[in-house]
A and B are shown apart, each in its own frame.
Chain A
Amino acid sequence: MSYAGIKQFLNERLPLEALDTHLRKPLPKHINLLFSFGSLAMFLLLLQAATGAFLAFYYSPSPEHAHNAVTYISTEVPFGAFVRGLHHWGASAMVIIVVLHLLRVVLYSSYKAPRELTWIFGVLLLLIVLGFGFTGYLLPWDEKAYWATVVGVEISSTAPVLGDFVAKVMRGGSEIGAVTLARFYALHTIWLPWLVFGLVGVHLFFVRYYGSSGTPKNTPEEMKAGKPFYPHQVFEDVVGMLILFVILAAVAIFVPVPLEDVADPTNADYDPRPEWYFLFLFQLLKYFQGPFEVIGTFVIPTVGMLLLLFLPFLDRSERAVLWKRPIALTVTSVSVAAIVILTILGGTSKKLETTEATVQETAQPTEHIQGAATPDTETEIVEEGEEVFDFQLTEEEIEGAKEVEASQ
């Protein structure tokens, strides 16, 4: 069948011409490069989905296997370090791009009527992006993965009323382990992807249905007098995608993705730090102590998210560029500055330096039988000169101790 034949076959069965006309509809005037952030976020989502789907070929979500599997990917599988690098740094790029996308929408107050729903679905997508980050970094099952998740889940446990329940559901029990890893993997690779593609579908539908918002200076005539979406805007978008991919590929090649030692729940020397995009929250928590803890862990993040979600209904002013809206400008600047400063403070905060060596004993039920048994005590000198005792008894020793006690 010739090309013309195939085209005719498809045209007779699908509304391709209507789609072509729709895609070539003119955009508003004064569209600039800032309007490409949405497309870049879409590109990153597809790149994350593709690299993630391929990484899953070599991953096993169990504490016995996860760390070895990730090491295997990074060191033995051809292109493994590159694919993992794209996925890891792509996650960071995604957070940056969606925040820039959000700021562009705030800059031109594009969230105002009739585009409130587009905004709400966009904020939900931002939350899902953060959810991907949170569930994703447990998967390598290294020290950072484990401890960042311990802290993250503890944060949710401080929420009033349901906090403890939510934390237990997240962990799948009272502590982080095999069940937690399995459910984080399921969330990261099944639940969140379904959710994100569903919400992106709705978000994109609104974007196409209401059309691009353009900039506030557009007159009603100018709203339909710009360049067509396809191919002009799409061309600019793919150039942006190419630049973004080249940067990401370079980072993936030249900056190895860290993989720390395998998670160790007894490692008290480890200073947990979250991913950089959660550092502001990490730093914020330090300022609320004792009974005020819940303000940092729950009140501020929840209120902040609700304000962001319902922004179109709170800001009822006329549509204008940000610097012509003093209140919006102040709130946005203060929020961005606060997040940036908290992130820098969190990132540069000193790690805990233990000056006094403490003696740590692995607690075993030895005291009441110490007189009866003489267990082998292995003392290991660790790097810091800290002594670690292991008084654990063998089964024979415990049996022997019981026999001695019974005969007394």
Chain B
Amino acid sequence: MEKKGRRSFLEIATAFIGGVLSLAAGIPLIGFAISPAFKKGESKWVDLGLADRLKNSRFKKVDYTFTAKDGWVKATKKRSVYVTDAGNGEWRVFSRICSHLGCLVRWDAEKESFLCPCHGAIFDKTGAVIAGPPPEPLQKLETKVEAGILYVKES
């Protein structure tokens, strides 16, 4: 009877120590792996060019690059946006990344809409969803004009 009691105590103690060990090793390891999810991205202003050159009542496709830290690499990132000025100093810069699953949208001047080639999403010229599965409008980037240069906020 006594033997039985000792055995079950040892079994519980063994499982307990095993659990402690798994947590002591597992928590740092999992924290190590998932930490990028908690990292706040740095935002910065990136110039798109002289505002006068970009002025256009229709959407212009503009590609630009900027450097940003990518892990241990200082990487050159490439982005593509649609730019138009709505007059009265207001700029509309839309990310081309579809808010559904990340494909790149294209501006169709005839239909005056952004079309996504993947799942049939359609956005109007304000970025609002007209058709298809996207849950949100196209991302509109923050802009500013300084010394005649148009900047967008990259994050």
Interface residues in chain A, defined as those with a beta carbon under 8 Å from any beta carbon in chain B: 47, 50-51, 54, 57-58, 60, 65, 68-69, 71-72, 77-80, 82-83, 86, 228, 230-232, 234-235, 238-239, 241-242, 245, 249
Contacts and interface: CB of A to CB of B under 8 A. Distances in A.
A83 B28 contact: yes
A185 to B, nearest CB: 16
A235 B14 contact: yes
* SS class, residues of chain A in contact with chain B: helix
Given A68-B73, A71-B72, A77-B35, A54 B29 contact: yes
A83 B32 contact: yes
- Top 10 A-B pairs ranked by shortest CB distance? A72-B72, A68-B72, A231-B10, A79-B28, A79-B32, A78-B35, A238-B17, A235-B10, A231-B11, A235-B14
Contact of A65 (B11, B24, B73): B73
Contacts of B71: 58, 69, 72
B13 interface: yes
Contacts of B31: 78-79
B29 to A, nearest CB: 5
A245 B27 CA distance: 14
B21 interface: yes
Chain B interface main SS type:
helix
B25 interface: yes
Given A78-B35, A232-B10, A245-B24, A239 B17 contact: yes
Contacts of B33: 54, 57
Contacts of B10: 231-232, 235
Tier of interface size on chain B: 20 to 34
B119 interface: no
B75 to A, nearest CB: 12
A65 B72 contact: yes
Contacts of B11: 230-231
A242 B25 CA distance: 11
Contacts of A234: 14
B11 to A, nearest CB: 5
B32 A78 contact: yes
B18 interface: yes
27 contacts: A47-B25, A50-B29, A54-B29, A57-B32, A68-B72, A69-B72, A71-B72, A77-B32, A78-B32, A79-B28, A79-B31, A82-B28, A83-B28, A83-B29, A83-B32, A228-B7, A231-B7, A231-B11, A232-B10, A235-B13, A235-B14, A238-B14, A239-B17, A242-B20, A245-B21, A245-B25, A249-B24
A50 B23 CA distance: 13
Nearest to B24: A245
A284 B75 CA distance: 47
Which of A71, A72, A77, A228 counts the most chain B CB atoms within 10 A? A77
Contact of B21 (A69, A228, A231, A238): A238
A51 B32 CA distance: 10
Most buried by A among B31, B71, B72, B73: B72
Contacts of A83: 28-29, 32
B94 to A, nearest CB: 33
A50 B33 CA distance: 12
Contacts of A69: 71-72
Nearest to B7: A231
A231 B14 contact: yes
Interface string B100-113: 00000000000000
A58 to B, nearest CB: 7
A269 B50 CA distance: 53
Nearest to B20: A242
A60 B73 CA distance: 11
Nearest to B28: A79
A15 to B, nearest CB: 20
Given A230-B11, A235-B14, 20 more contacts: A47-B25, A50-B25, A50-B29, A54-B29, A54-B32, A57-B32, A78-B32, A78-B35, A79-B29, A79-B32, A228-B7, A231-B10, A231-B11, A231-B14, A234-B14, A238-B14, A238-B18, A238-B21, A242-B20, A249-B24
A245 B13 CA distance: 17
Contacts of A51: 29
A50 to B, nearest CB: 6
A82 B32 CA distance: 9
Contacts of A249: 24
A176 B10 CA distance: 53
Nearest to B74: A68
Nearest to A59: B72
A43 to B, nearest CB: 8
Contact of B32 (A80, A228, A230, A245): A80
A232 to B, nearest CB: 6
B12 to A, nearest CB: 9
Contacts of A239: 17
Nearest to B30: A54
Contacts of B17: 235, 238-239, 241-242
Contacts of A58: 71-72
Interface in B1-55: 7, 10-11, 13-14, 17-18, 20-21, 24-25, 28-29, 31-33, 35
